[in-house]
Amino acid sequence: MSGAQRRLFTYLLLAYLFAAAIDLATLAAVTIVWGFLRMWSVTAAALLSAVISRESPIDYLKQWFKVSKHSLLCYLSAPLLVYLALGVYALIAAPFGLFECNASEIIASQLQAVRIAKALASLAVFQHLLMGLFRLYR
Protein backbone atom coordinates (compact mmCIF):
# COMPACT_ATOMS: atom_id res chain seq x y z
CA MET A 1 0.00 0.00 0.00
CA SER A 2 1.48 3.32 -1.04
CA GLY A 3 1.54 6.46 1.10
CA ALA A 4 -1.35 8.04 -0.82
CA GLN A 5 -3.48 4.94 -0.44
CA ARG A 6 -2.67 4.76 3.27
CA ARG A 7 -3.68 8.40 3.74
CA LEU A 8 -6.90 7.81 1.78
CA PHE A 9 -7.68 4.73 3.86
CA THR A 10 -6.98 6.64 7.10
CA TYR A 11 -9.15 9.54 5.94
CA LEU A 12 -12.06 7.27 4.99
CA LEU A 13 -11.80 5.28 8.23
CA LEU A 14 -11.77 8.43 10.37
CA ALA A 15 -14.58 10.06 8.37
CA TYR A 16 -16.84 7.04 8.79
CA LEU A 17 -15.97 6.61 12.48
CA PHE A 18 -16.69 10.28 13.23
CA ALA A 19 -19.96 10.13 11.28
CA ALA A 20 -20.99 6.95 13.10
CA ALA A 21 -20.14 8.49 16.49
CA ILE A 22 -22.21 11.60 15.67
CA ASP A 23 -25.09 9.41 14.44
CA LEU A 24 -25.02 7.33 17.63
CA ALA A 25 -24.91 10.43 19.85
CA THR A 26 -27.82 11.98 17.95
CA LEU A 27 -29.78 8.75 18.08
CA ALA A 28 -29.21 8.51 21.83
CA ALA A 29 -30.30 12.13 22.38
CA VAL A 30 -33.34 11.77 20.14
CA THR A 31 -34.28 8.49 21.81
CA ILE A 32 -34.09 10.05 25.26
CA VAL A 33 -36.25 13.02 24.24
CA TRP A 34 -38.68 10.74 22.40
CA GLY A 35 -38.93 8.41 25.41
CA PHE A 36 -39.56 11.31 27.78
CA LEU A 37 -42.26 12.79 25.58
CA ARG A 38 -43.82 9.38 24.91
CA MET A 39 -43.95 8.56 28.61
CA TRP A 40 -45.82 11.75 29.47
CA SER A 41 -48.17 11.63 26.47
CA VAL A 42 -50.59 9.41 28.41
CA THR A 43 -50.64 11.88 31.30
CA ALA A 44 -51.22 14.78 28.92
CA ALA A 45 -54.10 12.91 27.29
CA ALA A 46 -55.69 12.19 30.67
CA LEU A 47 -55.39 15.80 31.78
CA LEU A 48 -56.72 17.08 28.47
CA SER A 49 -59.69 14.73 28.68
CA ALA A 50 -60.40 16.08 32.17
CA VAL A 51 -60.34 19.64 30.82
CA ILE A 52 -62.60 18.71 27.90
CA SER A 53 -65.09 17.06 30.26
CA ARG A 54 -65.02 20.25 32.38
CA GLU A 55 -63.27 18.72 35.39
CA SER A 56 -60.53 20.46 37.29
CA PRO A 57 -57.13 19.09 36.28
CA ILE A 58 -55.78 19.97 39.73
CA ASP A 59 -58.44 17.85 41.43
CA TYR A 60 -57.71 15.10 38.92
CA LEU A 61 -54.00 15.19 39.81
CA LYS A 62 -54.79 15.20 43.55
CA GLN A 63 -56.88 12.09 43.03
CA TRP A 64 -53.97 10.33 41.29
CA PHE A 65 -51.40 11.19 43.93
CA LYS A 66 -53.57 10.40 46.91
CA VAL A 67 -51.76 7.75 48.96
CA SER A 68 -53.43 5.94 51.80
CA LYS A 69 -51.59 5.30 55.04
CA HIS A 70 -52.25 1.58 54.67
CA SER A 71 -50.60 1.35 51.23
CA LEU A 72 -47.65 3.43 52.42
CA LEU A 73 -47.23 1.17 55.44
CA CYS A 74 -47.34 -1.94 53.24
CA TYR A 75 -44.84 -0.44 50.83
CA LEU A 76 -42.36 0.53 53.52
CA SER A 77 -42.68 -2.69 55.52
CA ALA A 78 -42.33 -5.06 52.54
CA PRO A 79 -38.51 -5.35 52.87
CA LEU A 80 -38.99 -6.41 56.47
CA LEU A 81 -40.35 -9.69 55.09
CA VAL A 82 -36.88 -10.41 53.74
CA TYR A 83 -35.36 -9.89 57.19
CA LEU A 84 -38.08 -12.05 58.72
CA ALA A 85 -37.37 -14.82 56.21
CA LEU A 86 -33.65 -14.59 56.95
CA GLY A 87 -34.38 -14.83 60.67
CA VAL A 88 -36.57 -17.92 60.22
CA TYR A 89 -33.91 -19.48 58.00
CA ALA A 90 -31.21 -18.73 60.58
CA LEU A 91 -33.29 -20.27 63.38
CA ILE A 92 -33.89 -23.44 61.39
CA ALA A 93 -30.49 -23.82 59.73
CA ALA A 94 -28.17 -22.80 62.59
CA PRO A 95 -28.66 -25.98 64.69
CA PHE A 96 -27.71 -28.05 61.65
CA GLY A 97 -24.60 -25.97 60.97
CA LEU A 98 -26.00 -24.67 57.70
CA PHE A 99 -26.02 -21.00 58.70
CA GLU A 100 -23.02 -19.06 59.81
CA CYS A 101 -23.24 -15.34 60.34
CA ASN A 102 -19.87 -13.95 61.20
CA ALA A 103 -20.66 -10.40 60.13
CA SER A 104 -20.13 -9.01 63.63
CA GLU A 105 -16.73 -10.75 63.88
CA ILE A 106 -15.65 -9.37 60.51
CA ILE A 107 -16.78 -5.87 61.47
CA ALA A 108 -15.18 -6.22 64.92
CA SER A 109 -11.85 -7.13 63.31
CA GLN A 110 -12.13 -4.11 61.05
CA LEU A 111 -13.05 -1.89 63.99
CA GLN A 112 -10.08 -3.16 65.98
CA ALA A 113 -7.83 -2.08 63.14
CA VAL A 114 -8.97 1.48 63.75
CA ARG A 115 -8.99 1.02 67.55
CA ILE A 116 -12.74 1.23 68.11
CA ALA A 117 -14.41 -0.83 70.82
CA LYS A 118 -15.56 -4.34 69.99
CA ALA A 119 -19.00 -3.61 71.40
CA LEU A 120 -19.77 -1.42 68.41
CA ALA A 121 -19.64 -4.41 66.04
CA SER A 122 -23.22 -5.52 66.76
CA LEU A 123 -24.42 -1.95 66.42
CA ALA A 124 -22.64 -1.70 63.07
CA VAL A 125 -24.34 -4.90 61.84
CA PHE A 126 -27.73 -3.49 62.84
CA GLN A 127 -26.87 -0.20 61.13
CA HIS A 128 -25.97 -2.05 57.93
CA LEU A 129 -29.32 -3.83 57.97
CA LEU A 130 -31.15 -0.52 58.40
CA MET A 131 -29.14 1.11 55.63
CA GLY A 132 -30.05 -1.78 53.36
CA LEU A 133 -33.70 -1.12 54.11
CA PHE A 134 -33.49 2.59 53.36
CA ARG A 135 -31.36 2.19 50.23
CA LEU A 136 -34.26 0.36 48.63
CA TYR A 137 -36.19 3.62 48.52
CA ARG A 138 -33.64 5.95 46.94
DSSP-assigned letters across all residues of 11-66: HHHHHHHHHHHHHHHHHHHHHHHHHHHHHHHHHHHHHHHHHHTT--HHHHHHHHT-
Q: Is the pTM of this model over 0.75?
A: no
CA gap 103, 124 in Å, rounded: 9
Is it the case that residue 121 has pLDDT exceeding 70?
Answer: no
pLDDT band at residue 112, thresholds of 50, 70 and 90?
Answer: low
Contact 125, 103 (CB under 8 A): yes
pLDDT at residue 113 in the model: 63
pLDDT band at residue 55, thresholds of 50, 70 and 90?
Answer: confident
pLDDT at residue 63 in the model: 78
